[in-house]
């Protein structure tokens, strides 16, 4: 069964709006973190906003990383989009939890969810996320959209944590199953 892995850039206060995070220099360690994710990816799951941002940017990018990123199957959760044109891509049908459950049962590599905070919160709350990978920036945004649902605590087991040379900490967690 495929795993669903949420990956986010995030501040120490759980704000995951990239434009609100402190500026840090992108370095080889961050690039390696993203390269490892791409090597492990069999597909992407995206909400509408992230899909539109990525579809407006990535098809024009060149190079090995961009070629592999663009070639991944993309599944888009949206109640408003009628079509997707960044191929290969398809709109999910039916309820989000049912559609993601079906995706996880299909053959293929792991499914990575980049950004898409509202979708990630719903899937965390439904217990469908298998891993949470974070690049935690050294600072607090103070306000903004947060990753974790404010109304439902989620217990996490630490899988790994590695401080990077630019002050960012690469972390991976496994959500603890609700009993």
- CATH number at 80 reads 3.40.430.10
Is pLDDT at 20 greater than 90 in this prediction? no
pTM of the model: 0.94
- Residue 113: pLDDT band (50, 70, 90) is very high
Domain of residue 129: give its range. 4-175
CA distances from 159 to 11, 39, 54, 117 (A): 19, 19, 28, 22
User: How many secondary structure helices (H) and strands (E) does the chain include?
Assistant: 5, 8
Beta strands at 131-137 and 169-175: parallel, antiparallel or unpaired: antiparallel
Q: What is the dihedral of CA 16, 34, 126, 3, to 10 degrees?
A: 180
Condensed to tens digits (0 to 9), the pLDDT of residues 49-92 reads 999 999 999 999 999 999 999 999 999 999 999 999 999 999 99
Least-confidence region, from 13-22, 57-66, 91-100, 125-134? 13-22
Phi, psi of 98 (to 5 degrees): -65, -45
178 CA to centre of own chain: 22
Percent pLDDT > 90 in the chain is: 90
> What is the number of domains present in the chain?
1
End-to-end CA distance of the chain: 21
């Amino acid at each position: 069964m495929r795993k669903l892995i949420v990956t986010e850039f995030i501040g120490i206060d759980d704000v995951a709006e990239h434009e609100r995070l402190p500026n840090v220099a992108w370095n080889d360690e961050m690039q390696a973190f993203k390269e490892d994710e791409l090597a492990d990816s069999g597909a992407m799951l995206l909400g509408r906003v992230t899909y539109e941002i990525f579809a407006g940017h990535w098809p024009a990018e060149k190079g090995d990383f961009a070629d592999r990123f663009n070639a991944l199957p993309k599944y888009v959760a949206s109640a408003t989009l009628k079509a997707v044109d960044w191929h290969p891509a398809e709109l999910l049908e039916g309820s989000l939890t049912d559609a993601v459950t079906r995706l996880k049962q299909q053959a293929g590599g792991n499914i990575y969810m980049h950004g898409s905070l509202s979708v990630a919160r719903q899937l965390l709350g439904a217990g469908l996320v298998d891993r949470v990978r974070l690049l935690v920036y050294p600072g607090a945004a103070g306000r903004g959209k947060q990753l974790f649902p404010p109304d439902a605590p989620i217990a996490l087991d630490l899988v790994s944590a590695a401080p990077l040379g630019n002050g960012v900490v690469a972390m991976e967690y496994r959500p603890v199953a609700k009993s």
